[in-house]
């Protein structure tokens, strides 16, 4: 239902929403900006509430420590949308990473939370040197978002709340894992 609202907004809206990635990450490609939303499927009520909450935050500005559509950061977005779906999730990215059930990338479903390490903050040539950076840098989880299907996730970055593709270079290089908090899930949407 809420996802159908996303469908009604035009390509220009999608392009405007997808102008940036994680803090300092390069802007998405033209292909990434023009992607349509995932198809709507029937969902149990818990997932429907999560979907509605995500729609309410879509396009919200970034605010460190924020957790409202007036301003939100990545972990505040995750915590708040899950609370609205009746699921208690801790506040920080690290705490959220340590909760929930680990999920393999091939098993991602709507509502799973995807996590990224500090590489998502690398810019341009820094992505090429990511392999030689400190292991602590690679092991530190620092960003997350909610998987919405077809290789896409909603997240809050310093450029606001929008949808990105997991297969974009910055996200592929910095992906560190995923967690499942919902007790009910629809079939895979990858």
Catalytic-role residue among 22, 58, 120, 143: 143
> What's the CA gap between 130 and 31, in Å, rounded?
24
Report the run of H or E that residue 51 belongs to, with start and end. Answer: helix 45-57
With a CB cutoff of 8 Å and minimum separation 6, the contacts of 125 are none
DSSP E strands, 38-165: 67-68, 71-72, 101-102, 113-117, 141-149, 152-157, 160-165
Helix, strand, or coil here: 177? strand
Catalytic-role residue among 22, 74, 120, 142: 74
With a CB cutoff of 8 Å and minimum separation 6, the contacts of 13 are none
Give catalytic status of residue 143 as yes or no.
Answer: yes
Report the catalytic residues: 74, 143, 155
């Amino acid at each position: 239902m809420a996802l159908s609202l996303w469908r009604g907004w035009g390509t220009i809206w999608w392009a405007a929403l997808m102008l940036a990635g994680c803090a300092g990450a390069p802007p998405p490609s033209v292909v990434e900006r023009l992607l349509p939303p995932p198809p709507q499927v029937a969902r149990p009520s818990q997932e429907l509430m999560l979907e509605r909450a995500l729609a309410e935050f879509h396009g919200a500005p970034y605010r460190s420590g924020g957790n409202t559509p007036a301003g939100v950061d990545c972990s505040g977005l995750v915590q708040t949308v899950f609370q609205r779906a009746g699921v208690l999730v801790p506040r920080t990215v690290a705490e959220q990473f340590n909760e929930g059930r680990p999920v393999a990338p091939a098993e991602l479903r709507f509502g799973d939370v995807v996590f990224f390490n500090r590489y998502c903050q690398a810019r341009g040539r820094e992505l090429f040197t990511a392999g030689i950076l400190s292991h602590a840098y690679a092991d530190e989880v620092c960003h997350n978002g909610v998987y919405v299907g077809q290789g896409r996730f909603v997240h809050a970055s310093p450029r606001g709340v929008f949808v990105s593709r997991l297969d974009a270079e910055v996200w592929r290089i910095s992906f560190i894992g995923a967690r499942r908090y919902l007790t009910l899930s629809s079939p895979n949407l990858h």
